[in-house]
Amino acid sequence: MRLTSEVTRRLAALLVTGAVTLSSVAGTVATTPAPSPPKLPALTGKTLAGIYAENLEYIEVSAAMAEVDGHHERAAALRAMGQHNRQFLSFDARGEGRVVEVIGDLERAEKVSILVPGSDVSIDNFEGKASSNAFRASARTLHERSSKMSHKQIAVIAWLGYETPDTFSLAVMTRGRAEEGAEELSAFVDDLQRVTDAPIALICHSYGSVVCGLAAVGAGGGESGFKVSDIAVFGSPGMGVEADDLEGETRLWAGRGGGDWIALVPNKSLSLLGATVGFGEDPTDPSFGALPFDAGDAGHSDYLKPRSPALDSLALIASGDATGVMSSG
């Protein structure tokens, strides 16, 4: 797809600005000390309880280390996560952090959904501060709504399994972080299938939709059978793949709220300064071939807001009710 010279100039300027910004802040970001994560057994039904317990112990030790070193905000975030009833499949308190938390009963679930975040999510804001838009709060809201609407046993996994890019950065315009995330997501889905036979859906926000797109076509490096029942993308800048690459048994859904600024981002892909910028076609365009869902007037961070049309649509997808989604759209 050809670009106008004006669009090309703007993207080039943004790319250069991002590169300069990144180079200027590199080395100034303090690294919070944390121990290496525990060596966990392979994920199975029999090891699940032990994995939850070991991760909680690790969080407690990590919080104490952060406090001693004077990183009080990180310590507070970790203490909030370390409550005895929390269920973490994996946890890494180093750097920006990696957190994979189960909400619901994974072994008994009739449907499992993996919520994949976009930009600006890290261990420090995973919990959020009284915000319904915080990542974990969004996962809990999705779990509650999908359980209530379907009357099924639902599990939702808040999957911070990759280093998300900053919204204003070079990384958010390119595939590098998404490729790394896709490899991790593919491996995680494979592991998850040793615990549950329930259908698995991917619920993918913003840049997270690129992660999901690349994982679905194996571009992230995964070599085993990647099988999910549904992929729902919302607030997507593009999925980094062609629509034809996603053909198969997986249902692909796409929605965009009327108040989402992502509609102003050009759905293009081009090479600039040795990097590929942009993620291609708009998944909400009918020509892409995705099934549409009602996203109401949601803004970019409002799709999982309580009592919203977008939440209801995504809750139906999370519960496997494709008929309900299409009849409400």
Domain assignment present for 30: no
Per-residue pLDDT, 299: 96
C-alpha 327/C-alpha 291 separation (Å) is 12
**What 3-state DSSP class applies to 157?**
strand
Span 76-114, pLDDT tens digits:
999 999 988 999 999 999 999 999 999 999 999 999 999
pLDDT of residue 277: 83
Instruction: List pLDDT tens digits, range 230-274.
Output: 999 999 999 998 878 887 889 999 999 999 999 998 888 777 666
Which residues lie below 8 Å from residue 18, measured CB to CB, with a gap of 6+? 168, 169, 170, 171, 173
Q: Does 236 fall in a domain?
A: yes
- Assess whether 102 and 241 both reside in one domain: yes
Backbone angles phi, psi at 255, to 5 degrees: -145, 150
264, two tokens: 């102003």
Calpha distance 142→318 (Å, rounded): 8
Asked if residue 173 is part of any domain, the answer here is yes
200-232 pLDDT, tens digit per residue, is: 999 999 999 999 999 999 865 545 457 899 999
Question: Dihedrals φ, ψ of 155, to 5°?
Answer: -120, 135
* Residue 153 is assigned to a structural domain of this protein: yes
Are residues 293 and 162 part of one domain? yes
- Residue 304 falls inside a structural domain: yes
Per-residue pLDDT at 243: 78
The pLDDT of residue 329 is 66
The verdict on 83 and 114 lying in the same domain is: no
Q: Which sign does the torsion angle of CA 182, 184, 187, 189 carry?
A: negative
Number of domains in the chain: 2
Helix (H, G, I), strand (E, B) or coil at 136: helix
Is residue 198 within 8 Å of residue 111, measured between CB atoms? yes
Q: Is the confidence at residue 9, as pLDDT, over 90?
A: no
Residue 104 lies inside a defined structural domain of this protein? yes
Q: Using an 8 Å Cβ cutoff, are 211 and 182 in contact?
A: yes
Q: Using an 8 Å Cβ cutoff, are 288 and 243 in contact? A: yes
CATH classification of the domain holding 284: 3.40.50.1820
Residue 147's pLDDT is what? 97
Average of per-residue pLDDT values in the chain: 87
> According to the model, what pLDDT value does residue 72 have?
94
291-292 and 275-277 strand pairing? unpaired
Statement to judge: residues 56 and 150 lie in one domain: no
For residue 82, give its domain range.
35-88
- Residues 125, 195 within the same domain: yes
Say if residue 63 is in the same domain as residue 182. Answer: no
- Mark whether 108 and 230 lie in a shared domain: yes
CB 215 within 8 A of CB 185: yes
d(CA 33, CA 1): 46
Do 158 and 207 share a domain, yes or no?
Answer: yes
74 in helix, strand or coil?
helix
User: From edge to edge, which strands make up the β-sheet containing 98-103?
Assistant: 88-92, 98-103, 154-160, 111-116, 200-205, 230-234, 251-255, 291-292
pLDDT of residue 30: 53
Q: How many CB atoms lie within 10 A of CB 209?
A: 28
* Residue the block writes with tokens 């099924």: 152
Q: Report percent pLDDT > 90 for the chain.
A: 74
Residues 159 and 65 both lie in one domain: no
Confidence of residue 18 (pLDDT cuts 50, 70, 90): very low
pLDDT mean over 11-33: 44
Q: Are residues 181 and 54 in the same domain?
A: no
> Does any domain span residue 298?
yes
Do residues 120 and 262 both lie within one domain? yes
The mean per-residue pLDDT over the stretch 21-26 comes to: 36
Three-class SS state of 10: helix
Q: Give the C-alpha separation, 259 to 234, whole Å.
A: 12
Confirm whether 28 is domain-assigned: no
Say yes or no: 120 and 195 in one domain: yes
